[in-house]
Amino acid sequence: MQIYRHIETLDEKARGAVVALGTYDGFHQGHQKVIGYAGRVADELKAPLAVLTTEPHPRYYFNPGQPPFLLTPFRAKARHLESFGVDILYALPFDGDLAGTPAESFIEDILVGHLGVRHVFVGFNYHFGQGRKGDAAMLKAFGERHGFGVTVVEPVAVGVEGAAGETYSSTLIRNALRNGEARRAAALLGHWWTLEGHVVKGDQRGRTIGFPTLNLPMGDYIEPKLGVYAVRVALEGGRLIDGVANIGRRPTFDKEDVLLEAHLFDFDEDIYGKLISVALIAFIRPEMKFSGLDALKTQITEDQVSAKALLSDPDNAADRFPAPKRAKSLDLGA
């Protein structure tokens, strides 16, 4: 997949694509259907399949002081899109210039002038341009004028227990994670929710008590319910290792920053600085403050037992919610 952050002087091979527009945070099943339909048309037209998004997320531009909320920061989103079969990712910098671009100029200058789009796909609630004044009706009118097609994908109804009939949205998934409902979040996404990052050195206290951990800062990821989770870690090369992780502030040691600390089962390799992804599989218990190291060690031992039982459940297998693929995306809904 080719990634373009600047589109003013694109090669001809990067123009004339079928383009899905949106932020696609989380890349949930509704997102997958939009891009899946776009892919089918791209195949028919023998055109590249592209996604146009913005970086950073517009919410960070308009509300810069808000807590992290992303389900998929840029690197994770790009990985999903590439795996899904997207050929081109246009990642426009969301700054004052883009925020102040009238909707009509967004279409004529960006979509038509720079990208030369052949067909555009959007979700039912997509808005764009200064003041969010652009919508699907405007896209269709300009499409007729400039000769590109426009398809609006209608809402995709959720089939997950407790949310049946609602529409797939990133908000539903954020709420599930804030409630510690990792498997529910996976069912809504269609893939396990993962955190990606490079392993950093922590206090190395875990080694002294017999439970070495790998540590990941939370960065721009949304903060799920703090506590202990059964997790599955993917190392570089795709090797999967089961484990148990605490996401929290480590009150026993008077820490304040939120950190993911994962203890991997039957694993003793140096992976400092390596890129990994950690899939949250199931919530085990809230974060706790312990009276001392002996109490902490006893609880970690119990957490390992709980995590191994959860990870051995067939409903929690790695392939229960695999990485999304375009060939399966249009099986969802009517």
For the chain, what are the domain ranges?
2-156, 192-320
What does CATH list as the number for 2-156? 3.40.50.620
Please give the biggest Cα pair distance in the chain: 73
What pLDDT, in 10s, does the model give residues 286-302? 988 776 777 888 888 99
298 is written with which tokens?
């006893």
Residue-level pLDDT at 269? 87
Cα–Cα distance, 99 to 60 (Å, whole number)? 12
Percentage of the residues of the chain whose pLDDT score is greater than 70? 91
In DSSP terms, 89 is beta-bridged to: 3, 51
Per CATH, domain 192-320 is 2.40.50.140 = no
292 is written with which tokens?
């001392």
Residue where the block lists tokens 């952050």:
5
The pTM for the full model equals 0.88
Cα–Cα distance, 61 to 63 (Å, whole number)? 6
- DSSP states along 8-64: TT--GGGSS-EEEES--TT--HHHHHHHHHHHHHHHHHT--EEEEEEES-HHHHHST
The mean pLDDT value for 63-90 works out to 93
Instruction: Examine the pLDDT at 334 and tell me if it is beyond 90.
Output: no
Residue-level pLDDT at 9? 86
